[in-house]
Amino acid sequence: MILVTGGTGLVGSHLLFELASKGYNIRALKRESSNTELIQRLFSWYDKEKGKELFNRIEWVIGDVLDIVSLQEAFQGVETVYHCAAVVSFMPDDRQIMMKANVDGTANIVNVALTNDIKKFCHCSSVAALGSPQKGNLIEESLVWKTSSTNSWYAISKYGAEREVWRASEEGLPVVIVNPTVVIGPGDPARSSAQLYQSVKNGMKFYTSGVTGFVDARDVAAMMVLLTESDIINRRFILNSEDLSYKELFTLFAKYSGVKPPKYRAGRFLSEMAWRMEKARSFMTGQKPLLSKETARNANIKRYFSNEKIKKALNVQFRPIEEAAENTSLFFGKYPVYLSPDFRMPS
């Protein structure tokens, strides 16, 4: 039996499809309030004939990474674990719950895994956990984390989560860690990179000068399974298809959604003004801000990532990001109103 945490998220939902397609017995942990309708749509999108049948292979269990009792119950009969559950946020108000869920939650997961003699533990981390390199340097797995004011709280939380996984590996848990760049694919626009697509679709006018890595959600899922099925243990791998500017990504989304791409460049000055204005709007209206200082500043940073280690280890190639953008755009073209209850369209 395989246990997947975070199965309703972008990576987790694609991982469930990959595992179900391979015929594995799957148990997925979800909160009582979580909606699985998107996953059903996703399964039918990728396999029109057998999507429903594959979805029904999943055994859903109610639980939470911060609830030890529910974890102990979910681990019964499990041999392999894929840990994808995490809070992703760059908003100051979410820092406390993000640190608790990502660090303490991961500690709980690996502790229960150690007591249940799990044969393989695959942790979905993030390139954010690698930290920031010297300016202009290519980011590789060997990068050593350094405390810095440029590290986001999300990065700090993912670094803390990785420390728990490495600690468990020293205590005997066979682990493998993947560090995806920005994952592109159909997912909940309220809590995934699909919100970038929605912003472009809704006529976003500005783009930033930042560059970062992007990877197809299907590739992340497939490579997580390949690594877990292999004899590779106690190693980490960056999962990255291409380094693109945000303008290039937005242009791809615009191409496949039939809208005009963002036209105006928002430099550092405009970005700094934007997050301050958004903070003021949030204070006056009581609504959650759509932009934070961290997101505004990160959007203008240029980062480049190496994918040589994973390609050599598994002899694999990545899908072009244009294919990922097309897949995402076509999915939302078919399911245009599939939004989570707390989603608010970006302005």
In-domain check, residue 251: no
Q: How many CB atoms lie within 10 A of CB 92?
A: 13
In a domain, 141, yes or no: yes
Rounded-to-integer distance, Cα 305 and Cα 320, Å? 15
Domain for residue 158, yes or no?
yes
Domain count of the fold of the chain: 1
Give the residue, 100 or 338, on which the prediction is more confident: 100
- Do the domain assignments include residue 95? yes
- Starting at the edge strand found earlier in the chain, the sheet holding 242-245 runs 182-184, 211-216, 242-245
**pLDDT tens digits along 161-214:** 999 999 999 999 999 999 999 999 998 776 677 778 877 877 777 777 788 899
Structural domain contains residue 297: no
pLDDT above 90: residue 263: no
Q: Which domain holds residue 111?
A: 2-186+213-243+303-323
* Residue 136 in domain: yes
Tens of pLDDT, residue by residue over 32-64, are: 878 888 899 999 999 999 999 999 999 999 999
Please check whether residue 84 is in contact with residue 5, taking contact to mean a CB–CB distance below 8 angstroms: yes
Tokens 């493998």 -> residue: 176
Between helices 321-334 and 217-229, what is the axis angle to 10°? 110
Residue 281 lies in a domain: no
> CA of 220: how far to CAs of 50, 141, 166, 272, in Å?
22, 16, 21, 33
pLDDT score for 205 = 76
Asked whether residue 267 is assigned to any structural domain, the reply reads no
Would you place residue 316 in the very low, low, confident or very high pLDDT band (cuts 50, 70, 90)? very high
Give me 92's structure tokens: 């100051």
- What residue type is assigned to position 288 of the chain? K
Give the CATH number, domain containing residue 180. 3.40.50.720
For residue 269, what pLDDT is reported?
39
